[in-house]
A and B are shown apart, each in its own frame.
Chain A
Amino acid sequence: MARTRTTLTRAIILLALAAVFFITLDLSGSSSTSNLRRAFDTIFAPVEGVARVVTRPVSNAWKAIRDYDDVIDENDRLKEQVALQEGAAVAAAASVRLSQELLALNGLPTLAGINSVTAQVIGDTPTNFSQTVEINQGANSGIKVGMPVLNAAGLIGKVTEVFADRALVMLISDPDYALSVKVVTKSSRTPVTLPPLPTEDAPTVDSVIETTDTSSTSSTSSTTTTILGFTPGTTTIPPEVVAGAGGGSNITVPVASQLAVRETGILEGRGPGTRPIVRFLDASTRASAIEVGAPIVSAGGSRSLAPPDIVIGVVSRVVERLGTAGPVLEIDLVADLSSLSFLRVLLYQPITETGK
């Protein structure tokens, strides 16, 4: 009896030390723990598969009891929504295509150039202290740790564990999730207002001639665009486009600084049922410059977890802070994380996640 107790005490010490060792190893980003998980998964996956089949009737009965009325209501609402959006979808598709063509024309990265894998959500998180879902695609489909995951609405999270035929996706709402994002804000400068032009002074654009003027005294060559009737150094507007020209109306010309400004910050999850926030905005950003409803998109960049311009959500509340701390934004996610079904994993592995 005493011998058994000594053996058990030794086992406790050994296992507790092993736990501390593995926590340290895992938090330092070692891939050896992932290998351990994969090894365990080969044993566990068949058992889980059998359990899924056996317990399905019970979970289906639970869902039927709990969700039936909600499902009926949602179905009616969705039918109405689909009817409303059918027309808008055609126009949106045309706009997206045009946008992608423009981005491609200017050599800018687009999501259209990144391959993706469609996956289905097969499980939720078994604990109350992590926000993950399990999908039915894994390493065999080319999925790797760190790849961004989207649904039809927008970004929903990133892949954190990959097994042969399944993977775990950490949702945006998980407190461990952070991503650099862009917020489209209003300009802080006032627009330039030009005085009314006399009709006779306003030139017309006849044709555009491009000439190249290379100066022999300068080491650089410059290309200028000359418009007939246009005098360099003065700002003139053709009468055809001047509203009320000659009638004495002022005209407002948008300057470059008046265009939408993009502030960057870090989006952080705050757990289920709580809106994610965007922090670390530039301290000089005025809270009033950010509108409720302003879109939030991924910032992109070589070290970002996601490619640029993936829609994430909209600003729902702007919290101004005292001192040098910039404002904090609460975000309404466009994706409904509570009812995920089909997802798209972008086959884009960030530099920071390579080798995992």
Chain B
Amino acid sequence: MFERVLRAVASRWFRLVLVVLIALSVQTTLFTEVRPFGFAIQLIAIFVAVVGSTHDVQTGAVVGLISGFMYDAVLATPLGISALVLGALGAIAALVMQPFREPTWWLRVIAVSVVAAFGEILMPIVKSVVGLSGWLDVRILGAAAVTFVGALVVSSALIPVSRWTLQERVGRGD
């Protein structure tokens, strides 16, 4: 029993939850204050896109769904909306990178930025689908542009973080 708990704590998914918790705290503190042109840079969306671009479709989707649930828990929006959007982003980021056998770092950064920016367009669409209309206007282009530029700046730093977070550690009993 104790060994199973230890193994769960040492797993990459537990590590992911801790990393997302830190990213979330930065999102709700620093990036709520630092708002270029009045828009918040979506660090969580960028992180999910980075994970998708460095891993496969399934991993990207699961990371997006888990991160989304955690993000929803601190927002006033219905629980599950960000999970669906970020889950889709993780999968899309992985799909975008699939045609490239050995992508260069800058190609990965551009792909992450485009996908993270797309998330800012996808979010109001999903909100409208569930009946929370009012967000689909030209303003979303500004939000997408700010997240795109923000992703260009921070995503290269997040690539090693995502690899470390989700690396499999083969140990005794694995």
Query: For B80, what are the chain A residues with a Cβ–Cβ distance below 8 Å?
Result: 18-23, 26
Residues of A with C-beta under 8 A to B74:
37, 40-41, 44, 126
Q: Give the shortest distance, in Å, between A253 (CB) and chain B (any CB).
A: 48
Kindly supply a per-residue 1/0 record for chain B positions 80-117, scoring 1 wherever the CB is within 8 Å of any chain A CB and 0 otherwise.
11011001000000000000000000000000000000
How many inter-chain residue pairs (CB < 8 Å) link A and B? 166
Q: Size class of A's contact patch?
A: 35 or more
| Overall SS of chain A's interface | helix
Q: Is the CB of A23 within 8 A of B130?
A: yes
In the docked arrangement, what's the CA distance between A6 and B26, Å? Answer: 33
- Nearest chain B CB to A341 CB, angstrom units: 14
**Size of B's binding interface in residues, CB under 8 A:** 55
Mask for B41-67, Cβ within 8 A of A = 1, else 0?
Answer: 010000000000000101101100110
Within 8 A of B (CB), among A257-316: 269-273
Complex CA distance for A21 and B116, rounded to whole angstroms: 25
Instruction: Decide if B143 touches A19 in the complex (CB within 8 Å).
Output: no
B161 contacts the other chain (CB 8 A): no
CB distance A271 to B135 under 8 Å? yes
Asked whether A128 and B40 contact (CB < 8 A) given A15-B83, A44-B74, the answer is: yes
Chain A, residues 231-263, CB within 8 Å of chain B (1/0): the string is 000000000000000000000000000000000
B76 x A130 contact (CB < 8 A): yes
A175 interface contact, C-beta 8 A: yes
Instruction: Flag if A271 contacts B134 (CB, 8 Å).
Output: yes
Which residues from chain A contact B133 at a C-beta distance below 8 Å? 175
Q: Does B155 contact A (CB under 8 A)?
A: no
In order of increasing CB-CB distance, the 7 nearest A-B pairs are A175-B134, A51-B25, A8-B58, A19-B80, A59-B33, A26-B78, A15-B65
